[in-house]
Structure 1
Amino acid sequence: MVLRSCCKFGPVSVLFRLGYVALLLLCVTHLRCARAENKTVVQKYAEFDVTYNDTVTSDNQTIYAFNHTVSRNKTEGVRVTVDVLSEGAESSPILFVVRQKQAVLSFQVPLILRGLYQRKYPYAHVGRTLCQPPTRTLSETQYFFVDVSTLSNLGTHYQLRISRVDSFTLHTDKKFSFTASPSQPQYFKYVFPDGVDTAIVKVNSEMTFPCSVMSIQDIQCPVYDLDNNVAFIGMYQTMTKTAAITVQRKDFPSNSFYVVVVVKTEDEACGGPLRFYPLRPDELIDAGNRSKTLDVVVSPAISSDVYVMGMLFCLGIFLSFYLLTFLVACVENKRMHRRREGLLNPADMSPAETGKPGVTPVSPYEYGSFADNGSTLSSEAITDSIASDANYGYMERSLESVTGRSRQESLSSIEEDDYDTLADIDSDKNIVRTKKYLCVSDLARKDKRVLSKKYQIYFWNIATIGVFYALPVIQLVITYQTVVNVTGNQDICYYNFLCAHPLGNLSAFNNILSNLGYVMLGLLFLLIVLQRDIIHSRALDRNDLNALECGIPKHFGLFYAMGTALMMEGLLSACYHVCPNYTNFQFDTSFMYMIAGLCVLKLYQKRHPDINASAYTAYACLAAVIFFSVLGVVFGKGNMVFWIIFSVLHILATMLLSTQLYYMGRWRLDSGILRRIVYVIYTDCIRQCSGPMYIDRMVLLVMGNIVNWSLAAYGLLKTPNDFASYLLAIAICNLLLYFAFYIIMKLRSGERIQCMAMVCILFTAVVWGFALFFFFQGLSTWQKTPAESREHNRDCIVLSFFDDHDIWHFLSSIAMFGSFLVLLTMDDDLDDVQRDKIFVF
């Protein structure tokens, strides 16, 4: 304005205007001073537990003087209660200022608290507890003053009452009940008794709403006890019916702390319904009755001895598996030693060593539920056909075992493509793999060194994936834990707060420790596989015909990958439980997808070693699964477009995989695929109505499509919030379906399951049953708000240290280890059976 005036009126006019403004300011200051001189200040000596009714205007100010005796050995709270009785006080509220030693508390009445979208809620009844300054003497008299003032020209009537809070100090293991509201927060003091270094503060209520906040704050002034400032300091968490915070003595220099309970003005933070928007941003909304009755109890937490017992218990369980494995290995070693000694007797030699025909297992096609569709071939003709088809491959490998080993086996590089580029070999593939009845020898024609290198890539790839995946995960969860410790916001992580035992900077050490089983049992499985790998390599080195020509081909790369995946699952599950929430739940499930996929691949590889997927293809598919898992967590909740796209892709992937499995990979996805489909439908279904050529495979694939289409329909109709668990359920259902099919077909083929494998199957089934029981207890869920999740929290059940979810970790790690052992041992009965007599299914 001054610059504009200078430009328009010149220097003289500017000076005139500045003088006018200065004179005006002088007059206003004089009027204010005169008004202040005319303002009446009244000081009254007041007493506790007396209600004072008075009126205040802009012309008077009332000061109430109180004094009370403070003892160092006894802590009493002092509470100020104010009511405004006049209507229309929102436009000119009354200001109350409480001046005391080392602290000043001020608030207006009506008290205006803001909620979501800056909505305003007025409260005419206000109750505040005064901060208690410490005293150095045994007893002293302290004074404090309550100043009451307003700028309203009209008289505003109010009531003031100062009272003592006799139950201001909480006692260990003693429940105390109280009532709180947004304008009447409550807080209490707790002093650590001797011998107690950690305590757990529990606040409970029978009322779900209104939403509340429980905070733990150090003994200092001011105490932040309103909805708009309770999160400024200390630790806090929202609550509906329950809240629990574990407090350590080392975090509070005074060996004491305040337990603050505040009722929020709105319920959105606890999952309650949204209120209506105000018509204007400055509109006042009636908050209604938001009083809540609660009770608080402080109990000593576990001692260091319980920590030691919990760790020893965890180590003892899993070290016992190492001991049991060592004893079984000793017994098995003695049995193998006796067997080798018995081989010196020709009567005890295997068919592969004597050259005599062994006992051919009964073909599943000679009986059973799946008919041969009227085939005129007899069972003897079928058996002879299978044997003759495999004869060339058997002779070729036998000749190689005699002459080929004289060559250098460690040539520069052996690639699978070196054996697959000739047209006659491609033709041979089509002839062999499209036979109606296949034996393992038909699908074990490639050089074992090529396949060994091919499957070792699984192990090296998953080890590399694990390193690059785990490092940023560890960094991220450490950041999460740091944020929780610095901000005190315990709504960030979804713990079971009634059984969350801190250690150092970790808030729930027990949930992390219980994942040790995955790592230890994964390492144990790797050692078992390594032992079998060494024994098999030694048998190959001494040209053992059983190792060369009998049993399921031994390829251990996938087993190594499975053991590594189990160890990584333990590491990433521990990382997830550092701060469990919906943004990092994928850490807990990523390697579960890996384990399920590797188990399916291993089952398929047992009877199809030549045509199993390469490591690059398999991990690319698993990466796509994890990619959709992330998309589902971010966009899947209530997004119908996402669910439609995912369901369509799920069904298409199921159909493509079914075609790949049915035709053993001998089909092409090109521009002529539709023409070939129409031709097959016309010739096989319309013209001659012939049944499927591969009945067993067709039954498996039909069941698999039914299951997957049903899961896709369920996801599309229900749109579950937990997309990661839904995706994991799809993987597990397919794994169980294929495993059941494998066992049934194995028994139908006349094969048997040895005692060790049967024990592993029964033991694993029982453990899985108990594990799933504890898994579905649901101690917390990030699908709800943190306050709603805490309603599911429960106390520890084992050694006062482990909860239901920890037991799930124990049992599921044991069950996974047992499942791996089942895959490792289930075909041991075929070690002495020639591969041209082992059926493919």
Structure 2
Amino acid sequence: MVLRSCWKSRHKTSRGAAVRPVLPAALLWFCVTRLACAGGALAETNIVVQKEAEFDVTYNDTATSENQTIYAFNHTVSRNKSEGVRVSVDVLSRGLESPILFVVRQKQAVLSFQIPLILRGLYQRKYPYNHVGRTLCQPPTLVASETQYFFVDVSTLSSQGTNYQLRVSRVESFTLHTDKKFSFTASPSQPQYFKYVFPDGVDTVIVKVNSDMTFPCSVMSIQDIQCPVYDLDNNVAFIGMYQTMTKKGAITVQRKDFPSNSFYVVVVVKTEDEACGGPLRFYPLRPDVLIDAGNRSKDIDVIVTPAIKLEVYVMGMLFCLGIFLSFYLLTFLMACLENKRLCRMKRRECLIPADVSPAETGKIPASPYEYGSLADNGSTLSSEAVTDSATSTDIYGYAGQEVFKRRPILNRVHQFSICIERSLDSVGRSRLESLSSVEEDDYDTLDDIDSDKNIVRTKKFLYVADLSRKDKRILSKKYQIYFWNIATIAVFYALPVVQLVITYQTVVNVTGNQDICYYNFLCAHPMGALSAFNNILSNLGYVLLGLLFLLIVLKRDVIHQRALLRNDLNALECGIPKHFGLYYAMGTALMMEGLLSACYHVCPNYTNFQFDTSFMYMIAGLCMLKLYQKRHPDINASAYTAYACLAGVIFFSVLGVVFGKGNNVFWIVFSVIHILATMLLSTQLYYMGRWRLDSGILRRIVNVIYTDCIRQCSGPMYIDRMVLLVMGNIVNWSLAAYGLIERPNDFASYLLAIAICNLLLYFAFYIIMKLRSGERIQCLPLVIILFTAVVWGLALYFFFQGLSTWQKTPAESREHNRDCILLQFFDDHDIWHFLSSIAMFGSFLVLLTMDDDLDTVQRDKIFAF
């Protein structure tokens, strides 16, 4: 009304005048005139009172729409001394329709807030606060000392008088000191922040915030020295780095990120606790209803400690490399000793004439042309060796033997000529074999092999010779597919994973949101763009030891191929059939586990946890397949079938992580599939693959039940297999029942536990049956088994320490954070990486060497179980 009357008094127009377009200059003049009129009207109705105010004095005043009070303050700012200024306001009236506005005008900033202060929570719920305390930002000064002025304006549009209290005080302890704990109290309407300056020689520090109170939920923020400071729940995430906290919080801060060599530590208490996993409060039906927030004060301690220096980084890297390279050195020394032993044996063989019997030498021949069983202790000579001995005796006779005994040179020439003849013969035969075309359909070379294998596989006592009747070249190609398939899977799996985690790390660095990744913040050492370099470095063991295992397997593969080329009867007819494709796949899987685990630890959270577990499933599956392949080389699963099943496991892992939490339908479906898969696999193993899943399966099941259980009630024909399968079904059904009842939040770990339990069960069965069959475990595999068992026990101890968990909120996960325990660089989870990589490597060596005692035993004397 005032503006309208002012406008009419200055510009009177006729009632019927038409409205014309106004030029820009005229429009500007019109706006200025209106503002002048408004100012004049306000000056006539509003009383402005300015007071010279002092620090640490409480002012009790009344604010109305007819007056405006300005409090003028001045203080001296020193460049060498930092002190804060805090404004505290308390409104004594309740139920205000119009709030009081407080505006603090500084040299380089303006801070404004209203009382009651309305802070919003989840679903836009409103919480009013009548007591507000804010700290003023302190822009840096260029001179040694200067006097700065600031003003506090108080105004309201309420016609009713509102009483308030205003107090401005100095914060003497505004600067944080290194390794010195500082305590304070904060609330949603009274946030706190303090300044920290990097001392000389310190480039990285860790800001640790602790509280004895779990709730209320809080936010810790690290911000640059600038105005304004974002210290409210609704704006604290605008700049800098921040993270939610309940009892613990820690952020690593580097000097390079702050040009002023200083930063603010801001602590804000949130209006609600949902972000920290607290209870969800009621939701009001009307969105304009104000909710009483209650007492949400929180006592907090903050301490800033220097981070580790460059020397600790170097020591940690050298320690990590030294541990795993020592395995290379130990393997090299053992290989040298083994080669020396073999050379000594060959030299001894060369000094013994070909026609001298073992009785004359007093020793059992150790040449590659003799073999035997555990029953006769390897004393039976091969027919070829006997023939060679007889031939040499017939040709040279007794006189020849005397000549060779007295003239070792002639003996060596004779032995060399025999070796040349055998080599030429083996090369010719291998060339003829290579010229023949070999296809996967050429497994069965006998006309009656289809009926014969049904008869063979249903024998009560099976031997390895019964299940190794297929062409070794075909089986070798079949098992090499495992390696090439897993190599292809690794490439296509790893590339998008690397791209994704780089994106995660970039988002963390750009937004400053420390809640995205679940680190152990008390032992997370950054390097470059990586936030937790130590967690990534500790995965190096998987890669190095996986590569070492591949080299060991390659050496054995080469030795075996050379033995086949010279028609060594031990390689052709003795021992467990040597197929190395699965070993190569296991070594590759171990290396990929290290790479993907490192990718996961770039930014660990629930959305990428499957990166860390995918190849664990593959390792467990490949180990079980290798155990089964040892005694059943002809009927082991193909690579395509095995990887398809593992893909199904990973698919369920992803579904469990996304939909498994509290979803009854998912757990019922998974438990049913788990039990059915266990039963189908049990049937496959019990009947050695000689059953078909077709329309007649129900009829055959009824016949078996009728003939074996009802008509004559006979016991199981294959007792050993039945014991294993019954125990396996009990374990798997128990795990399915546990999952259905408890419904664990960490579905990926639950699925991995199922795989590991089945692997351990089958491995224990294999060892028991091996000893029960009269076989023995040599010294080296026995030492490796004991060493691996101890390392696995220690590794699991550190694994279950639980330094973080993505199953909870980030704030709750940080409650489990702990300091480094090894070289001030590695935490408990890093030690788990070290020990588990060594334990997996040892487990692979056990699978590789545990049947070395059978290398001189004929396959028709080795039991299949």
Q: Calculate the TM-score normalised by the size of structure 2.
A: 0.88
**1:431 alignment counterpart:** 455
The aligned amino acid for 2:535 is: N
Would the aligned equivalents of 1:361 and 1:751 in 2 still touch at CA under 8 Å? no
**Aligned mates of 2:637, 2:468 — CA distance in 1:** 14
Instruction: Provide the rounded CA distance (Å) in 2 between the counterparts of 1:823 and 1:436.
Output: 26
Contact 2:198 2:255 in 1 (8 A): yes
Note the C-alpha offset of 1:278.
Answer: 1.1
Is 1:755 matched up with 2:779?
yes
1:779 aligns with 2:786: no
Instruction: Give the superposition deviation at 1:411.
Output: 3.8
1:693 matched to 2:746: no
Name which of structure 1's ranges 338-347 and 544-553 shifts more when overlaid on structure 2: 338-347
Aligned pair 1:67/2:111, yes or no? Answer: no
- CA deviations on 1:132-185 (whole Å, 9 max, x unpaired) are 011111111100001111111111111100000000000000000000000000
Aligned partner of 1:224 in structure 2 is 230
Could you tell me how far 1:337 is from its partner in structure 2? 2.3
Structure 1 residues 23-54: Cα deviation after superposition (integer angstroms, max 9, x where no partner): xx999996785244321111100000000010
SS of corresponding position for 1:753? coil
Following the alignment from structure 1 to structure 2, what is the Cα–Cα distance between the partners of residues 602 and 794?
39
Residue 349 (structure 1) shift? 5.3
Q: Secondary structure at the match of 2:630?
A: helix
Tell me: CA distance 1:709–1:14, structure 2 relative to 1, closer, same or farther (3 Å): farther
Among 191, 195, 204, the residue aligned to 1:189: 195
Aligned to 2:111: 105
Q: Is residue 479 from structure 1 mapped to residue 503 from structure 2 by the alignment?
A: yes
1:316 aligns with 2:322: yes
**CA drift at 1:259:** 0.1
1:47/1:403 CA distance change after superposition, 3 Å: closer
Indicate conservation of the 8 Å contact 2:426/2:565, yes or no: no
Q: 1:537 is matched with which residue?
A: 561
Aligned mate of 1:250, from 238, 256, 261: 256
| Partner of residue 601, structure 1 | 625
Amino acid across the alignment from 1:526 = L
Q: SS at the partner of 1:232?
A: coil
The 8 Å contact of residues 351 and 358 in structure 1, kept in 2 or not, is answered as no
Separation in structure 2 between the aligned mates of residue 173 and residue 356 of structure 1, nearest angstrom: 72
Question: Is 2:537 the counterpart of 1:513?
Answer: yes
SS in 2 for 1:253: coil
With 772-781 and 325-334 compared, the bigger mean Cα shift is at 325-334
Question: 1:220, 1:494 → 2: CA distance?
Answer: 29
**More displaced 10-residue stretch of structure 1: 244-253 or 425-434:** 425-434
Distance 2:671 2:158 in 1: 66
Corresponding position: 1:81 with 2:105: no
CA contact under 8 A between 1:352 and 1:832: conserved in structure 2? no
After superposition, the Cα gap between the structure-2 partners of 1:356 and 1:545, relative to the gap in structure 1 and judged at 3 Å, is: closer
- Residue pairs, 1:608-619, within 5 angstroms: 608-619=632-643
In structure 2, relative to structure 1, the CA distance for the partners of 1:356 and 1:282 (3 Å cut) is closer
Structure 2 regions of 5+ residues with no counterpart?
A: 1-13, 22-26, 378-424
Deviations 1:613-646 (A, max 9, x none): 1111100000000000000001000101000000
Unaligned runs of 5+ residues in structure 1 are 1-11, 363-400
The match for 2:375 among 354, 357, 360 is 360
2 CA distance for matches of 1:437 and 1:361?
Answer: 20
**Residues 1:236 and 2:242 aligned together:** yes
In the TM superposition, what is the alpha-carbon distance from 1:433 to its structure 2 partner?
A: 1.0
Do the aligned partners of residues 340 and 611 (structure 1) sit closer, same or farther apart at CA in structure 2, a change above 3 Å counting?
Answer: farther
**2:606 match:** 582
- Identify which of 329, 334, 338 aligns with 1:332: 338
Distance (Å, rounded) in 2 between the aligned partners of 1:588 and 1:14: 82
- Higher-Rg structure is 2
- Given that residues 352 and 550 in structure 1 are in contact (C-alpha distance below 8 angstroms), is that contact kept between their aligned partners in structure 2? no
User: Cα distance 1:413–1:511, how it changes in 2: closer, same or farther (>3 A)?
Assistant: farther
**2:708: which partner in 1?**
684
Tell me the residue number matched to 2:125: 119
**What is the aligned counterpart of 1:829 among 822, 835, 853?**
853
Partner of residue 39 from structure 1, selected from 33, 46, 54? 46
- Cα distance in 2 for residues equivalent to 1:247 and 1:413: 66
Structure 1 residues 200 and 361: alpha-carbon distance in aligned structure 2, compared to 1, 3 A threshold? farther
Closer, same or farther in 2 for the Cα pair 1:571/1:707, shift >3 Å? same
Opposite residue 294 of structure 1, the aligned amino acid is I
Alpha-carbon shift at residue 462 of structure 1 (Å)? 0.4
Q: How far does the alpha carbon of each residue in 1:677-702 deviate from its partner, in whole angstroms, 9 at most, with x for none?
A: 11111111111111111110000000
**CA-based RMSD:** 2.3
- Determine if the alignment matches structure 1 residue 743 to structure 2 residue 770: no
User: Could you say which residue in structure 1 is the equivalent of 2:408?
Assistant: none
Q: Superposition pairs for residues 419-818 of structure 1, below 5 Å?
A: 419-420=443-444, 424-818=448-842
3-state SS of the aligned residue for 1:429? helix
Asked if the contact 1:352/1:546 (under 8 Å) is kept, the reply is no
Per the TM alignment, residue 126 of structure 1 is displaced from its structure 2 partner at its CA by 0.2
Distance between the aligned counterparts of 2:159 and 2:554, measured in 1? 91
Q: Distance in 1 between matches of 2:17 and 2:646?
A: 81
Q: Deviations over 1:645-704 (max 9, x none)?
A: 000000000000000000000011111111111111111111111111111000000000
Structure 1 pair 479–359 and aligned structure 2 pair: CA distance change class (3 A): closer
C-alpha distance in 1, partners of 2:81/2:168? 19
Distance 1:86 1:409 in 2: 102
Separation (CA, whole Å) in 1 of partners of 2:430 and 2:209 = 79
2:150 to 139, 144, 154: 144
In structure 2, relative to structure 1, the CA distance for the partners of 1:296 and 1:356 (3 Å cut) is closer
| 1:382 corresponds to | none
Give the whole-Å Cα distance in 2 for the aligned partners of 1:406 and 1:629: 47
Structure 1 residue 15, shift from structure 2 partner? 8.1
Aligned residues: 788
Q: Which amino acid aligns with 2:296?
A: R
Identical aligned residues as a percent: 85
Amino acid at match of 1:93: P
Q: Of the candidates 253, 273, 282, which is equivalent to residue 279 of structure 2?
A: 273
Structure 2 vs 1, CA of residues 13 and 756 (structure 1 numbering), >3 Å: closer, same or farther? farther
Residues 1:294 and 2:300 are matched in the alignment: yes
SS of the counterpart of 2:465?
A: helix
Alignment partners' CA distance in 2, 1:31 and 1:200:
54
- Shift of the 338–33 alpha-carbon distance from structure 1 to 2, 3 Å rule, reads same
- 756-765 or 324-333, which moves further after superposition? 324-333
Q: 1:424 Cα shift?
A: 2.5
Query: What secondary structure sits across from 2:815 in the alignment?
Result: helix
Deviation for aligned residue 1:249:
0.3
8 Å contact kept, 2:102–2:154: yes
Question: Does the alignment pair 1:51 with 2:58?
Answer: yes
Shift of 1:304: 0.4
Q: Would the aligned equivalents of 1:647 and 1:712 in 2 still touch at CA under 8 Å? A: yes
TM-score when normalising by structure 1: 0.91
8 Å Cα contact 1:549-1:834 kept in structure 2:
yes
**Is the partner of 2:515 in helix, strand or coil?**
coil
Alignment map for 1:399-414 (pairs within 5 Å):
405=429, 408-411=432-435, 413-414=437-438
Q: In the aligned structure 2, how far is the partner of 1:353 from the partner of 1:253? A: 74
Q: Deviations over 1:684-729 (max 9, x none)?
A: 1111111111110000000000000000000000010000000000
1:95 matched to which residue of 2? 101
Deviations 1:787-819 (A, max 9, x none): 000000000000000000000000000000000
Letter in 1 for 2:559: I
Contact map agreement 1:603 1:739 (CA 8 A) in 2? yes
